[in-house]
Amino acid sequence: MNYREGQEWGGEMVSHILRFGGQVFTPLPSGGLYWHARRTLLVADLHLEKHAAFARTGQFLPPYDTTMTLKRLAADLSQTGAESVVALGDSFHRDHGTESLSGADRALLGDLMAAREWHWLSGNHDPSPHRLGGICRAALEIGGLRLAHMPEKGRPGLVAGHLHPAARVVINGRSTRRPCFVHDGRLMILPAYGASTGSINILGKAFAGLFDRSALEITMLGRGQLYPVSARRLVDG
């Protein structure tokens, strides 16, 4: 029960600690993961310009998702004071997503990137490098951990995204389903950070065989708060 250590009861907000691969992290209710020792914010699956991607097929979804995600990121950066950012792939919904960025969004992103080190890891939605600045790369190894987009089994210390994990719990007949952080001590998967992303239940087929289910630790995202839940509580759907 390692996340209990260092739990702080500061006012109404409870901040949790996640220990993984010998490192200490603070998960944020937004879905970001702050790495204290490295002063680094990890975010997965921003899916920027997702709505704009639909417009190409005649579905004019509200073009505000990118701004929402960037503002969320700006708030997390100012709250944590992170000096570097690692985006774990699928940062853009399309490989050419950087092209449709509006002037305002481009400027906002520029401001966020100006003050810090920035790593764009490639994802299946955005495999090619782009020219927005920062470093575009396939994966990153730091502090004994490997950061990459795709989760895999049998590579201890991997922090990944891609699957948009969510957990569902039922208590007293009431059910709640939310995105979550999930790890088994060897593999950690971050929830999707983007404003317009869906999620997949970690009991679903997509997660089959990835985790040692007996060692699962799950932290659900709540409203301004995080909720660690027992794996026994999980239900499908």
First to last CA, the chain: 26
Please tell me whether residue 178 binds other proteins under the rule CB under 8 A.
Answer: yes
On whether the CB atoms of residues 37 and 143 are closer than 8 A, the answer is: yes
Give the position of tokens 């949790």.
Answer: 16
Please tell me whether residue 10 binds other proteins under the rule CB under 8 A.
Answer: no
Give Cα separations from 172 to 72, 152, 235 (angstroms): 33, 35, 13
Contact stretch for other proteins (CB under 8 A) within 17-25, 84-92, 139-147, 220-228: 220-228
Contact stretch for other proteins (CB under 8 A) within 106-114, 117-125, 136-144, 170-178: 170-178
The neighbour count for residue 117, using CB atoms within 10 Å, is 14
DSSP 60-82: ---TTHHHHHHHHHHHHHHHHT-
- Smallest separation, CB 177 to other proteins (Å): 9
Q: Which of residues 12-51 bind other proteins (CB under 8 A)?
A: 51
Please tell me whether residue 183 binds other proteins under the rule CB under 8 A.
Answer: no
Chain residues in the site for other proteins (CB under 8 A):
1, 4, 51-52, 55-56, 58-65, 67-68, 100, 102, 169-176, 178, 195-198, 220, 222-223, 225, 227-230, 233, 235-237
